[in-house]
Amino acid sequence: MAYKGKRINPQKFERGQIKIILILLPLVIFMAMPLVFIANHAFKPMEELFAFPPTFFVRNATLENFTKLIKFSRTSGTPLSRYVFNSVIVTVLTVGLSLLFTTLTAFALSKIKFKGRNLMMQINQLAIMFVATAVLIPRYLVICKAGMIDTVWAHVLPLVAMPVALFLVKQFVDQVPDSLIEAAYMDGATDFQVYRKVIIPMIRPAIATAAILVFQQVWTNMETSNYYINDDSMKTLTFYMNSLVNVNNTVAGQGMAAAATLIMFVPNLILFIILQNSVMNTMANSGIK
């Protein structure tokens, strides 16, 4: 497409892009600085961690902080591998169930007519306004009465429902043409077949974005380990890393704290890099009707 001799979204570099790059480059550098600092901070030796004036980049990179972290974990009653295993199981179960329930609910609220549909959507939007602390006591009572204390479901069930993810996915399902769904029904498809063969393939970008949101919530969550789990062998890696930082909040423990911060951050970065194209498509198409 051309406009006054210029192409919109050219495939190759053009001189007209220079001004855009000059505007965006400072913003990119500013937003990337915390990520670069976290990575450099974890590899700093003790003398650089407490150097004055502070240094942004590491000068003499070392794995000493990670070595100390591993050695300290071996002295605890529960091995580090157990916390990693718990976090992986909890994350996989929670993300999987959350995406399943979110997509099914979004399909029902968007394309299936039933009494109370608008009320349910309003309740979901209202739930977005509440932080986890506001529902902490009712949530604990439910977990306790259901007999899920010290079980993996105490980690999973409180985090399965994510109102923001449901709102995002429903907006995408709304954009699926009704004529396409009606044609599927005319061919004899059931509701679940329409959901699996029509809805899911067309909302994959939104599903990828929801997966990132749910993953971040689960991976960094300490509430379930703090309030619903008494057995140390059932707690997650995030809880262990945070307790490690608090216990070793001394000069000698700052290196381990820096290493722990990087370890907890890397999975979020990797997941975003893998799904970044889908996330960008979600943001670009979320307002298109």
Chain length of the chain: 289
CA-to-CA distance for 289 and 287, rounded, in angstroms?
Answer: 6
Query: What are the residues whose beta carbons fall under 8 Å from the beta carbon of 258, sequence distance 6 or more?
Result: 41, 42, 44, 49, 65
For the chain, 289 residues long, give each residue's pLDDT as a single digit of tens: 444 445 555 566 667 777 878 888 888 888 888 888 888 888 888 777 777 787 888 888 888 888 887 777 777 677 778 888 999 999 999 999 999 999 999 999 988 888 888 898 888 888 888 777 788 888 889 999 988 898 889 999 888 988 889 988 998 898 888 888 889 888 888 888 999 888 998 888 889 888 988 998 898 888 888 888 888 888 888 888 877 766 555 666 677 778 888 888 888 888 878 777 666 655 555 544 4
Question: Can you tell me the distance from the alpha carbon of 98 to that of 189, in angstroms, rounded to the nearest whole number?
Answer: 25
Contact by Cβ (8 Å): 207, 200: yes
pLDDT in the model for residue 281: 59
∠ CA 132-143-231, rounded to 5°: 100
Residues 85, 240: Cα–Cα separation, whole Å: 12
3-state DSSP assignment of residue 3:
strand
pLDDT at res. 105: 92
Radius of gyration of the chain (CA): 24
Contact predicate 110/173, CB 8 Å: yes
Cis amide bond preceding 201, omega within 30: no
Encoded tokens for 48: 């650089």
Structure tokens at 131: 């932080």
> Is the whole-model pTM more than 0.85?
no
Instruction: Record the tokens describing residue 20, joined without a space.
Output: 């855009």
**Model pLDDT, residue 288:** 43
1: its two tokens = 């497409």
Spacing of C-alpha 106 from chain mean position = 19
Q: Show the DSSP H helices in the chain as ranges.
A: 18-42, 46-49, 64-75, 80-111, 117-127, 136-145, 152-160, 163-174, 178-186, 191-194, 200-202, 204-219, 223-227, 237-247, 254-285
Find out whether 128 and 190 touch, Cβ atoms under 8 Å: no
List CB contacts of 207: < 8 A, sequence separation 6 or more. Answer: 99, 103, 169, 200, 278
Alpha-carbon distance of 90 to 155, in angstroms, equals 6
Cβ(201)–Cβ(140) below 8 Å? no
Domains, the chain:
78-285 (1.10.3720.10)
Query: How do 6-7 and 2-3 pair as beta strands?
Result: antiparallel
